Amino acid sequence: MLIEPNSHLYTYAITRDFGFAPNPFHGICTLATCKPRIRKAAKVGDWILGIGGSQLKPIKRRCIFLMKVSEKISFQDYWSDTRFNLKKPLRNGSQVQMLGDNIYHRDPSGNWLQEDSHHSNPDGSPNLVNLNRDTGGSDQVLISNYFLYFGSKAVQIDLDSIDYIRIRDFKKTNLSESMAGRYLIENVFQGRKGNINFIIDDPYQFTDSHMRVDQGTGKLF
């Protein structure tokens, strides 16, 4: 079943599209950093829709990705599960490896460790602003094995139909009550079955995959 009973659609604007959050590589789309309130609230069967934010002008308000949550696990389980070893970052590796989002786990004392990654400082040391933002609101990772990722070829969608205008964090739509929300999801998938779980085009900022970000200032290094 494409849309589960009592499921919801979470729609939010993506500020930066590197291929880190979300991370659509290796046939699995994951949201493991940023958007802690969505990662906390969403459940298996829910949908996450990421649209281009105001800083991504050519793809502003277009659908960058749409994923159905198939699994939800903790940071520690994400780190320990061998299925997701390819999602661990390697900063001297390929562009895809540099953008690995499997970056958080705990030391024996229970303190958070942050791997050298897109969210670390330029020297690879932990960026505490990013660490606190990523782990403070939720330690959950959303995983999808049923998604479409358009990247730079983000597609137009009818956001007005779900009353999405300009929302600071995200909009939650009850799909049991919103026929428009159901139509929006169905229309995105219509004619694109062959693209499911594939990267249709590179992330909009993929050429800057070597850079790092500070969520507090928005600066790239």
Residue 166 lies in a domain: yes
Q: Are 155 and 65 in contact (CB under 8 A)?
A: no
Note the pLDDT tens digit of each residue in 149-198. Answer: 999 999 999 999 999 987 779 999 999 999 999 999 999 999 999 999 99
Residue 63 lies in a domain: yes
Q: What is the pLDDT of residue 53?
A: 96
Confidence of residue 26 (pLDDT cuts 50, 70, 90): very high
Note the pLDDT tens digit of each residue in 88-128. Answer: 999 999 999 999 999 999 999 999 999 999 999 999 999 99
Q: What is the pLDDT of residue 167?
A: 74
Residue 40 lies in a domain: yes
102: amino acid identity, one letter: N
Domain enclosing residue 158, as ranges: 8-73+139-208
Note the pLDDT tens digit of each residue in 48-82. Answer: 999 999 999 999 999 999 999 999 999 999 999 99
Residue 18 lies in a domain: yes
Q: What is the pLDDT of residue 166?
A: 76
Q: What does the alpha-carbon distance between residue 60 and residue 65 come to, in Å, rounded to a whole number?
A: 13
Q: What is the pLDDT of residue 115?
A: 98
What is the residue-wise DSSP string for 5-55? TT-EEEEEEES--SSSSSB-GGG-EEE-SS-HHHHHH--TT-EEEEEE-TT
Residue 148 lies in a domain: yes
Residue 147 lies in a domain: yes
Residue 196 lies in a domain: yes
Q: What is the pLDDT of residue 23?
A: 98
Residue 111 lies in a domain: no
Q: What is the pLDDT of residue 110?
A: 97
Q: Domain with 58 in it: what CATH number? A: 3.10.590
Q: What is the pLDDT of residue 16?
A: 97
* Number of folded domains that form the chain: 1
